[in-house]
Amino acid sequence: MYDLILFILGFIVILAGSLTDLKNREVPDWLNYGLILGVISLRGIYSVYLYDYNIFLSGLLGLGVAFLLACLLFYTGQWGGGDAKLLMGLGAVFGLTFNAEVQLFFIFLFNLVIFGSIYGLVWTFYLFIANWSKTGHEFVQVLKTRRANAFKIPIFVISLISLVSSFFLIEFRYPLWLLSLASPLMFYMWVYTKVIENVAMLKKVLPSMLTEGDWIAEDILSNGKKIAGPSDLGINKKQISILNELYKKKKINLILIKEGIPFIPSFLIAYVVTLVLGNWILFLL
């Protein structure tokens, strides 16, 4: 019974988070922290009521593993803070036990990778089409950049060598064919991503419009001192306050920020698939 309550609580939070992410591109901290605190508290209450400490420890273990994964994704710049905190809460919801044959949390992570990738591709494709008047020109411009030119020849050489080698190394022909195709594909995927970023994800805003966690797209300097930049992994309240003061003194202008796609809806999709289908991969085997 307690697990049903946890799953319902998790669903409500993800649904609310999806709506706020779609609307404001952020998930309130109180929502994520409320999920973590609520789940751990419920597990503690049921542990005492049922005289089973494993209920509580399972939540702590799930929270701990999710925390490590969330830190990895956040500090490598792959996820924002809201995504990372929600993952921690869901780690506590699903929990982890040593004697379980199937760990729902790991199935959820697998589903998040699969459906998150599909969701991301669909969303970026929509942005590509919606900004069609700009994407064609930007595609050409990105291909002309120094970074793109630095990769073109090595990728072409790797692809060509792999293709030619496949005719001589018959036993390795399939991996070589894959490498021959994957090399240019990965390059053009990078170009595609860069085009989407430049035409649809970068925008200039007033310092007063910044919110904690926003990604600053370029270094902001004042008197030679760096105030904020891409390496910050999200701007903080102190930096926002400084930028507002500098703007009032006319020392800086608009701030260039990078907006990511609203990723929380992919959590919702993966969550529902996990609860409804469970380990659906078994149906394909």
pLDDT in tens, 140-159: 888 888 888 888 888 888 88
- Residue 126, pLDDT score: 87
Residue 39 neighbours by CB under 8 Å, 6+ apart = 6, 9, 10, 59, 89, 92, 93
- Residue 197, pLDDT score: 81
How much is the CA Rg of the chain, to the nearest whole Å? 23
- Residue 34, pLDDT score: 93
- Residue 284, pLDDT score: 59
Of 23, 4, 7, 26, the residue nearest 89 (C-alpha): 7
Which residue ranges in the chain fall short of pLDDT 50?
none
- Residue 10, pLDDT score: 93
pLDDT in tens, 71-105: 888 887 777 788 889 999 999 999 988 776 778 89
Give one DSSP letter per residue of 138-170, joined into a string. Answer: HHHHHHTSHHHHHHHHHHHHHHHHHHHHTTT-G
- Residue 31, pLDDT score: 92
- Residue 66, pLDDT score: 93
- Residue 12, pLDDT score: 95
